[in-house]
């Protein structure tokens, strides 16, 4: 497509305004975290992030993120297969319900789990009897994180599968391929970049989720504090260097995620 090359003052003003906005709004906070985290030297940073409570929060965040990503990947693949390869009634309802967590405030996400599994719930006596602790424990944190990131992977795969249609799978099925073979040999090559992209987004949100997790964690230091909650704890205790040191790890993860994202996007557009 040929584009008019507008070379006027407007172009440079527009670029300048956008650049200043993005630098001040997005990059400066990033730089500030790094500057504060390492401002008092690497020793202080290392001491803050190797604190036993910090280590415990990092491990918990990793645990929650891994479980969330696995669950949502399985769900995302099955849901997008189901929604794009078959026609059935109630499809719109399912699709709307999948997207619902995107519009619900994280606090409300936490609240609905509290109402489902908390003390006043009808399920509570049964859970108590079975010795399962969900609210103010790790399972609650995991559930809330799964809820918040629920649509992330299916939303990336569904557009790709929709535009690809069902012809190839039908052909494969008529030639006698089994379900798994069709998925692995025919469908998967189309969706692998979208799937990876979804996993990257899901990871980012899962490790950073704050509101929903905050409602369900009970803030037990060393037990149910994920990294964002631990940062809040340090910050409220005026341990700013510690808070920014732990933040620096998350900033680093965010940067890695952004780099992965643009690599995946480039790969995806090159192949399609």
Partner 1 sequence: MREKKRKAKRVIPGYGVSLGVTVTMLGLIVFIPLCSLVIFSAEMSFADFVETVTRPRVVSSYLVSFETSLVAAVIDAVMGMLIAWVLVRYEFPGKRLMNGVIELPFALPTAVAGISLTHLTTTNGWVGGLFDRLFGVKIAYTRVGITVALIFIGIPFVVRSVQPVLEKLDGQYEEAADILGASSRQTLLRVILPEVAPALAAGFAMSFARGLGEYGSVVFIAGNTPYETEIAPLIIMSQLQEFDYAGATSIALVMLFFAFLILLLNAVIQSRASRIVSGIS
Q: Residue 119 or residue 129: which is nearer to partner 1 going by CB?
A: 119
CB-neighbour burial class of residue 179 (10 A; exposed 0-12, middle 13-18, buried 19+): exposed
Please enumerate in sequence order all residues whose Cβ is within 8 A of that of 130, keeping only pairs 6 or more positions apart, or say none.
Answer: none
Q: Is there binding between residue 28 and partner 1 (CB under 8 A)?
A: yes
Q: Establish if 19 lies at the interface with partner 1 (CB under 8 A).
A: yes
Task: Show contacts with partner 1 in window 205-244 (CB under 8 A).
Answer: 205, 207-211, 214-215, 227-229, 231-232, 235, 240, 243-244
List C-alpha distances in Å: 33 to 16, 123, 127.
25, 43, 42
Choose between 28 and 55: whose C-beta lies nearer to partner 1: 28
Q: Does 162 bind partner 1 (CB under 8 A)?
A: no
Instruction: Looking at residues 239 to 268 of the shown chain, list those that interact with partner 1 (rule: CB under 8 A).
Output: 240, 243-244, 247, 250-251, 253-255, 257-259, 261-262
Give the shortest CB-113-to-partner 1 separation in angstroms.
6
Which one of residues 64, 138, 141, 146 is an interface residue with partner 1 (CB under 8 A)?
Answer: 146
Interface with partner 1, residue 33, by CB under 8 A: yes
Per CB under 8 A, the list member of 118, 124, 139, 192 interacting with partner 1 is 118
197 lies in the site for partner 1, by CB under 8 A: no
Q: Say which residue the tokens 């990871």 belong to.
A: 203
Candidate list 92, 129, 174, 270; residue touching partner 1; CB under 8 A: 174
- Exactly one of 45, 136, 147, 193 binds partner 1 (CB under 8 A); that residue is 147
Q: Rule CB under 8 A: is residue 137 a binding residue for partner 1? A: no
111 binds partner 1 (CB under 8 A): yes
> Residue 62, interface with partner 1 (CB under 8 A)?
no
- Is residue 156 within the footprint of partner 1 (CB under 8 A)? no
Binder of partner 1 out of 9, 43, 52, 88 (CB under 8 A): 88
């Amino acid at each position: 497509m040929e584009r008019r090359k507008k070379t006027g003052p407007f172009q440079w003003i527009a670029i300048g305004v956008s650049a200043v906005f993005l630098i001040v709004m997005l990059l400066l906070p990033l730089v500030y975290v790094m500057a504060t985290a390492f401002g008092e030297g690497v020793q202080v940073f290392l001491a803050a992030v190797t604190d036993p409570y910090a280590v415990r929060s990092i491990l918990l965040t990793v645990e929650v993120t891994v479980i969330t990503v696995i669950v949502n990947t399985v769900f995302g693949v099955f849901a997008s297969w189901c929604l794009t390869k078959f026609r059935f009634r109630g499809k719109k309802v399912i699709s709307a319900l999948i997207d619902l967590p995107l519009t619900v405030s994280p606090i409300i996400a936490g609240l609905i789990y509290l109402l489902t599994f908390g003390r006043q719930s009808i399920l509570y006596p049964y859970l108590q009897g079975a010795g399962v602790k969900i609210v103010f424990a790790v399972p609650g944190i995991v559930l809330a994180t799964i809820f918040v990131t629920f649509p992330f992977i299916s939303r990336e795969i569904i557009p790709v599968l929709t535009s690809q249609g069902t012809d190839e799978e039908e052909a494969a099925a008529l030639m006698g391929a089994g379900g798994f073979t069709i998925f692995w040999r025919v469908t998967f090559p189309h969706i692998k970049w979208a799937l990876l992209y979804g996993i990257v987004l899901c990871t980012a949100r899962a490790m950073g989720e704050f509101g929903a997790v905050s409602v369900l964690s009970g803030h037990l230091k060393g037990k149910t504090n994920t990294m964002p909650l631990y940062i809040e704890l340090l910050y409220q205790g005026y341990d700013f260097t510690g808070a920014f040191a732990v933040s620096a790890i998350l900033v680093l993860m965010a940067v890695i995620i952004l780099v992965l994202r643009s690599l995946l996007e480039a790969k995806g557009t090159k192949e399609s």
